[in-house]
Amino acid sequence: MKIEIGRERPASYKELFPGMWDIFHHFEFAAGIPQVLFALSTLKENGKPNISYHAWSCFQGGNDSGFFAILAGISLSSHTYANIRRTGEFCVNFLPLSYTDALTATIAHNADDEDEFAAGGFSQEPAFLVQVPRIKESFLSLECKTRQVINLSEAGTTALVIGEVQHVALDEEYANDVKKRYGENGFMLLVHSPFNYQTCEFSPAMAATLKLQKET
C-alpha cells in the first residue's frame, strides 16, 4: 500500500518553526530526498566575505553548452542573493561532515559587518577566475558566473540561480582517492526533517555521508 499525498498540505503537517510553510513546500518533507550540502561563498557590498550553508541544488552540463551549478531555494532576503545579483559571481565549496559546526556558526554571525569566514574559522583562498574567495578548507570548489536568476515559484520568497562553472579546484588528495571523496570525509548530504506518518512527527534534520556499495 502507498500513502498518497496531494498538493494541499495535510493538516498533520505542523510547523517546526513560525513561517516554515512560507519557505518550504510540504512535498520536501514527505519525499525526504537527500540533497548534497555545500557552502556558497560571495562578497558583501562592503567587501566582507559571506558564507551560506546550502543544499537544494544540482550540477549538470554538456560539452558544448558548459557545466552549470543550478541552485534552488536562494532566499530573496539573504546576503547571498543580493551579492550574486550585484557581482554576478559565487563559489560553491564542498566540505566534509567534520565542518558542520563551523558552517552552522556562520548562520548565527551573518550581519553586514561580520566576516563569515572568520566566524566559522575558515581561511580565504583566492579564486582563479572570479573575485569571490574560495574556502581553503574545501576539497572541491566551483567558481561560477551567474547566467540566470529565476523567480521559479513567483511567491516572492526564493529564487533559482543558475551559474556557469568557470573553473574547478580539487584537493590533490581527494583527486587521487575516489573512496575518500565518497566516504565519511567526502561529500555530505542533507536529510531534511522527513515526516513520519506513523508518529505524525518530523524527524530531526540530519547530515549524511556516502558509502560506495557496488560498481555498475
- Give 153-206 pLDDT, tens digit per residue: 787 889 999 999 999 999 999 999 999 999 999 999 999 999 888 788 899 999
DSSP state of 100: H
How far are the Cα atoms of 40, 76, 194, 209 from residue 79, in angstroms, in the given order?
11, 8, 28, 28
Strands 66-75 and 134-135: unpaired
Work out the number of other CB atoms within 10 angstroms of the CB of residue 66.
11
Task: Tell me how far apart the alpha carbons of residues 200 and 198 are, in angstroms, rounded to a whole number.
Answer: 6
User: For 42-50, what is the mean pLDDT?
Assistant: 96
At 85 the pLDDT is 97
Extract the C-alpha cell encoding 144. Answer: 561560477
Question: What domains, with CATH codes, occur in the chain?
Answer: 39-173 (2.30.110.10)
Q: For the chain, what percent of residues have pLDDT higher than 70?
A: 100
At 62 the pLDDT is 86
Q: Is the pLDDT of residue 149 over 90?
A: yes
At 10 the pLDDT is 87
pLDDT class for 210, splitting at 50, 70, 90?
very high
Q: Is the pLDDT of residue 55 over 80?
A: yes
| Reported pTM | 0.93
Grid-cell match 546550502, residue found: 54
At 198 the pLDDT is 77
More confident residue, 188 or 62: 188
pLDDT class for 114, splitting at 50, 70, 90?
very high
Strands annotated E in the chain = 35-43, 49-54, 57-62, 66-75, 89-94, 124-125, 134-135, 140-150, 158-170, 188-191, 195-196, 201-202, 206-209
Task: Tell me how far apart the alpha carbons of residues 135 and 65 are, in angstroms, rounded to a whole number.
Answer: 27
Grid-cell match 495535510, residue found: 10
